[in-house]
Structure 1
Amino acid sequence: MLFQACSLLLVIVGAYALKHLHVFGERDYKVAQGLVFNLTLPCAIILSFATNKHDMRMLWIVLFGFFACLIPLFVVYFGSRGDERNYRAFQMLNASGLNLGAFCLPVVQTFMGASAGLPVIMLDIGNATVATAGSLTITRTLLHMDDNFKALPLALRLRNIARDFLGSISFDIYMLMLVFMFLHITIPQPIVTLITPFANANAFCAMAMIGLMMEVPDNRKDKVELAKVIAWRAVFGVLIALAAWFLLPFDVRIREIIVLGSFAPITIFSTKFTDSLTGNAKLAGFSLTVTAVISLVVMTALHAALPVA
């Protein structure tokens, strides 16, 4: 297990090193992002649905994921009062939300096998409802950061929000698989065979993407704000993990998977929204990388410590 975790960390470090050896350019991470969000992650989602039984009780995990992402957003809004508006936005966007599809899914499947993917995906359906667009809208509105958005008619605001959601292929696949689950539709075996190589590449591509995004900020204030985000996420991670372990009506294996997911790093959407609202792309990318490394260490330790199902 330790070697599995180290192999994932090595991909992050290797991609970062290759960027600084000028094998990759500063913005080549967008290629990896395109592969993960439009190809490998959607295939991994479909494969997990196709190869696991769909217990309707899993819908409780969807609801759990929704509140696990939404509540921290408002807690940080009230807890960050007194800070500069741009840094409040950074804290709100990066202290809430869980990077489940692009990070937790490949890590958990590396540790526990392909069958461990379905609980992660169900958790991410609820989480993604907020993280893929809702967090941006809430942060922008509460902090009064976009006068143009406020000036739009209600119909256009709703259309822009809907476009944010539906523009994410991964979110669309989540919703489609949820419909398949309700209608008891089975994914045909030829499709499963076709997408398996792409799904298996998700772990490597996701870790490489994180490594390519990494860049150390030289602003002391940025580093202080990142420390605040790490502290926020540590508190929320513990609370979410305790709630999952003691409240969710599932066996030990599924509860362990949700506990691991509670300590997932900052989402890719948070880095994108941070860049668009504050213009601080370097801090956004570095924050994702730092929390990814911390998450990998914590998830490895928890997997070793929790009871084996």
Structure 2
Amino acid sequence: MNLALQTGALMLAILMGYAGKRIGVFGGRDYKLLQTIIFNVTLPAAVILSFAKNDHDLRMFWVILLGFLAAFVPLLAIYFAARRAPVRSRGFQMLVGTTFNVGSFALPAITTFLGAGAGVAVVMFDIGNAMMCAAGALVLTNLLLHLDPNWDAMTGGQRARVIARNFYSSVPFDMYLTMIVLLLAGIAIPGPVVTLITPFANANTFLSMIMVGMMMEVPRDRDDFLDMAKVLGWRLLVAVCAALAAWYLLPLAPEVRMVVAVTAFAPISIFSTKYADETLDRGELAGFSLTVSALISLVIMAGLCAWLPTLL
């Protein structure tokens, strides 16, 4: 019963965001303000809180590797599988069909369903995912499809600076790396810091779900629907493969493998919507695809969180 109510609460927040935009309470671009708050305040706070409140095992670095491979390998697979598609469609599938919305969706959803203790495994998966999410997917897609007209004209040094800036300008990615350094150094998060950031971390779930709803915009073009369907199909295939790899291959405790398997069903990343907007002018389609994938992911995650514990 509690799980059903928690799922309903998250869905209600998504619907509130969408309804608020439709009736004029929120503007069409107001979600960008929430993006700024989430990525620079509440999500970093949630990462700190997760590391501070849970024990860590260095074997969890296997989860980082899985998170990276789950985002990297599908991008190459889509590149070859969609080789006959127009660049506009191929690029959309590569950018939106890979990487995971972990920090602002899977993390709050899974910790709502399974408790704060599940957060560490989710965050570890996101560290690997973030290497592709923050810059890697865009860089590889640009290299393979030449989407950026300025890329070919750049020197090697300019390209390196662009890539580096995409990484270090991401506050969540910087926070992940900081937490890893503290973990390796054996330094604990001070109690006053935990107390200070807890209210911000607790706001991450609600703001993230509201933002997902605010980004929804229904496309009218048939080709757009087809590209969205392809992306959702790719994502489901990748999620199943990554979840099976987590469940059967990770040399970790069953509870950790379960959390990682659930995380693999995270929806489209917010970075993907930004990249699709900047390089392909398909931001609205990416935003709608994100919302649809988020609703699908929420149902699947809730079901897995109810079923998988019975298998442990």
Question: What is the aligned counterpart of 1:146 among 145, 148, 151?
Answer: 148
User: 1:88 pairs with 90, 107, 113, which one?
Assistant: 90
Contact 1:103 1:264 in 2 (8 A): yes
The one-letter code of the counterpart of 1:195 is I
State the 1:69 CA deviation.
0.7
Q: How many residues align?
A: 309
Normalised by the size of structure 2, how large is the TM-score?
0.98
Deviations 1:146-181 (A, max 9, x none): 231111110110011000011110000001001001
> Could you say what secondary structure the match of 2:151 adopts?
helix
Task: Give 2:303's aligned amino acid.
Answer: A
Query: Structure 2: how far apart are the matches of 1:214 and 1:261?
Result: 22
Partner secondary structure for residue 306 of structure 1: helix
Residue of structure 1 equivalent to 2:34? 32
Instruction: State the match for 1:199 in structure 2.
Output: 201
Q: Deviations over 1:8-27 (max 9, x none)?
A: 01000011001111011000
Whole-angstrom distance in 1 between the partners of 2:125 and 2:77: 20
- SS of alignment partner, residue 43 of structure 2: helix
Q: CA deviation at 1:307?
A: 2.8
> Alignment partner for residue 257 of structure 2, among 236, 249, 255?
255
Aligned to 2:6: 4
Instruction: Give the % identical residues.
Output: 50
Structure 1 partner of 2:172? 170
C-alpha distance in 1 between matches for 2:149 and 2:274: 20
- Distance apart, 1:304 and its partner CA: 1.4
C-alpha displacement of 1:305: 1.4
1:122 paired to 2:124: yes
Residues in 2 aligned to 1:114 and 1:147: alpha-carbon distance in whole angstroms: 44
1:204-260 Cα distance to aligned partner (Å, 9 max, x none): 010011011111011110001000011111111111111110000112211111111
> Out of 247, 260, 274, which is 2:276 matched to?
274
- Root-mean-square deviation (CA, aligned residues, Å) is 0.8
State the AA in 2 paired with 1:199.
Answer: A
1:284 matched to which residue of 2? 286
Unaligned stretches of 5+ residues in structure 1 = none
Give the letter aligned to residue 53 of structure 2.
T
Does the CA-based 8 Å contact 2:91-2:145 persist in structure 1?
Answer: yes
In structure 2, the residue matched to 1:227 is 229
Q: Secondary structure at the match of 1:307?
A: helix
Task: State the Cα distance separating 1:112 from its structure 2 match.
Answer: 0.8
Moved over 6 A (4+): none
For the Cα contact (< 8 Å) 1:217–1:223, is it kept in 2? yes
Matched, 1:69 2:71: yes
